[in-house]
A and B are shown apart, each in its own frame.
Chain A
Amino acid sequence: MSINAILGGVCIGIGAMLLMVLNGRIAGISGIVYQSFDEPRGRNWALFFLVGLCLGVVIHIWVSGDPGPVFDKPLTTLLPAAFLVGIGTRMGSGCTSGHGICGIARFSGRSIVATIVFMGSAFTTVFVQSLVWGL
């Protein structure tokens, strides 16, 4: 439903704003995942943010009663995809949240270019895949 998409987007924006206003950090999840391995134990703000992401989903399951989506992609697609997401977000310094939600809001040229490129490459991937399956 589009109202939930907008409200959910607003929540994502508020979460990103709070992390910057309180902790001075960009809410870029790929970067935070990487940093969560480096921060000192007990003061690992990055790990707490990631635990928060899961907690947010748990709260949503609890209030909505929706047990969550079905993940039915075969592992032969899913795991190479996961590897590409990992390499690509390191090499490209960010993902949908860091470049798309925070970087664009900072009017960062790098983030605007990265977002256009990963959107374009994702559209192309799905298009090519649907052509191949259609054969």
Chain B
Amino acid sequence: MKVYSALASGTIFGFGLALSGMTDPANIIGFLDIRGQWNPSLAFVMMGGLAVTVPAFQLLIPQMQKPILVAVFALPQNTIIDAKLIFGACLFGIGWGLSGLCPGPAIAGLAYLNWHIVLFVLVMVVGMYSGDRITRLLFSAG
């Protein structure tokens, strides 16, 4: 059952990405490029998303004993703001700014059957696996 609920959640999420234009890198670059004709879409998408998730996480979920289909809520427990978080977010931002693609639209965009996107996803996954190694190299020695 929980695989079908994940499928349904993903489908609604993916439809939202396409409807909002977030699967088009031009809309992301248009938002990030303050020198050109500014495209505010991304700000509207964030507002629309947070209009649902803020009440969900602040009001609905705290009232629930457990998720409907599994035993526990898997919520991140780490609250430490460290160099790893900052440096990682910084690298992600550079990649996002260069390409106009972040992981959600890249995966959803596989549906457009475009080989640029397929290559992007493959290299991104390689990056994720290298990420663990590089993180250890940079942050565990000192």
Kindly provide the distance from the CB of A100 to the nearest chain B CB, expressed in whole angstroms: 6
Interface string of A24-67 (1 = CB under 8 A from B): 11110110011000000001111011111111111111001001
B: number of interface residues (CB 8 Å): 113
Interface string of A90-124 (1 = CB under 8 A from B): 11110111011111111111100111011111111
Kindly provide the distance from the CB of B48 to the nearest chain A CB, expressed in whole angstroms: 2
Task: Work out how many contacts link A and B, with CB atoms closer than 8 A.
Answer: 471
Is the Cβ of B67 less than 8 Å from the Cβ of A126? no
Residue of B nearest to A27 (CB): B13
Is the Cβ of B111 less than 8 Å from the Cβ of A18? no
Q: Give the size category of A's interface with B.
A: 35 or more
Q: Which of B16, B21, B41, B50 contacts A56 (CB 8 A)?
A: B16
Contacts of B67 in A (CB 8 A): 20-24
Is the Cβ of A9 less than 8 Å from the Cβ of B10? no
Is the Cβ of A82 less than 8 Å from the Cβ of B45? no
Kindly provide the distance from the CB of A45 to the nearest chain B CB, expressed in whole angstroms: 4
B74 CB–A CB distance under 8 Å: yes
Is the Cβ of A9 less than 8 Å from the Cβ of B75? no
Residue of A nearest to B13 (CB): A15
Kindly provide the distance from the CB of B8 to the nearest chain A CB, expressed in whole angstroms: 7
**Most A CB within 10 A of own CB, among B7, B64, B93:** B93
Is the Cβ of A10 less than 8 Å from the Cβ of B49? yes
Q: Give the CA-CA distance A89 to B135 in the complex, in Å.
A: 11
- The B86-142 residues at the A interface (CB cut-off 8 A) are 86-104, 106-112, 114, 116-117, 119-132, 134-135
**Top-9 shortest CB links A-B:** A86-B127, A52-B10, A9-B48, A8-B20, A56-B14, A92-B88, A13-B52, A11-B16, A121-B93
- Residue ranges of B at the interface with A (Cβ–Cβ < 8 Å): 2-26, 29, 32-36, 40-42, 44-54, 56-58, 60-61, 64, 66-76, 78-81, 84-104, 106-112, 114, 116-117, 119-132, 134-135
Sampled A-B contacts (16; CB under 8 Å):
A2-B40, A5-B20, A12-B48, A15-B12, A33-B124, A48-B3, A49-B7, A64-B18, A73-B100, A78-B99, A86-B128, A115-B89, A119-B93, A122-B32, A127-B34, A130-B33
